[in-house]
Structures are given as C-alpha cells and as structure tokens.
Amino acid sequence: MIFQKNKVTKKIAFILVIFTIFISLGAVSLEAGGCEKAFFRCFDDPYWRAAPFGIIYCATGYLFCKKYIEG
C-alpha cells in the first residue's frame, strides 16, 4: 500500500517536474515539436529578451530539452 502510494506520488512528481521544465521554457505540452515551441516562447519572452545573454539561456534550455526530454 505504502509502495503503491510512493509510486503514484513519484509519477505525479515526475510529470510535474517535466511540466515545470516546460513552463520555465514557456512550453505548454510534450507533443512533438515541444522543444521548438518552448524555445520560441523563451525567445519571445520580454524577460529573456532583456536579459544579458538571454538567447544563450534559451539555447541551453533547448539543447537540454532535445537531449533529455525528446526521445
């Protein structure tokens, strides 16, 4: 029972983390092309556009997304 609860909690936590990564990158879903959409929104975000080297942060996020999240 405890294991079952742990499993469910962990699954939810994992989904939340993936979602958080995408939210932080500005994405809304994990569909195909998700990393591109996230990159577009990051690039389009006034905060990152104003930040020094903002584009670098968007690009590193895109690379991590491509390596880690897109199979």
Partner 1 sequence: MEKRKGLLAVSLVMVSLFLQTQFLFGKELSKIFLEEVLSVGSMDDDALFQWVGVVTDLNYIYVTDAMDYSLKKFDTKGNLLKKTGRKGQGPGEFLAPRLLDSSDQLLYVTDQYIPGIHVFDRDLEFRHKIPLIMLVGDLKVISDKQIAVVTFAYGQIGKIFFYDDKGKVIREFDYSTKKSSLLMDSISFDIDFHGNIYLAYNFQDKIEKFDAEGRKLWSQELLRIGRVKRKKIASMVVPTKIVYKDVVLDTSGKLFVLGGNLSKNPSRDVYVLSQKGEHLTTFTLPETSHCIYIDGQDYLYSRANDGVTLKKYRMKAVNK
Using CB under 8 A, list all residues that contact partner 1.
Answer: 3, 6-7, 10-11, 13-14, 17-18, 33, 36, 39-40, 43-44, 53, 55-57, 59-64, 66-68, 70-71
Q: Give dist(CA 27, CA 17) in Å, integer.
A: 13
CB of 11 to partner 1, least distance (A): 6
Q: Cβ(27)–Cβ(34) under 8 Å?
A: yes
Q: Which is nearer to partner 1, 6 or 29 (CB)?
A: 6
CB of 22 to partner 1, least distance (A): 13
Q: Which residues contact 69 (CB under 8 A, 6 or more apart)?
A: 18, 21, 30, 34, 35
Structure tokens that stand for 48 in this block: 């990152």
CB of 34 to partner 1, least distance (A): 11
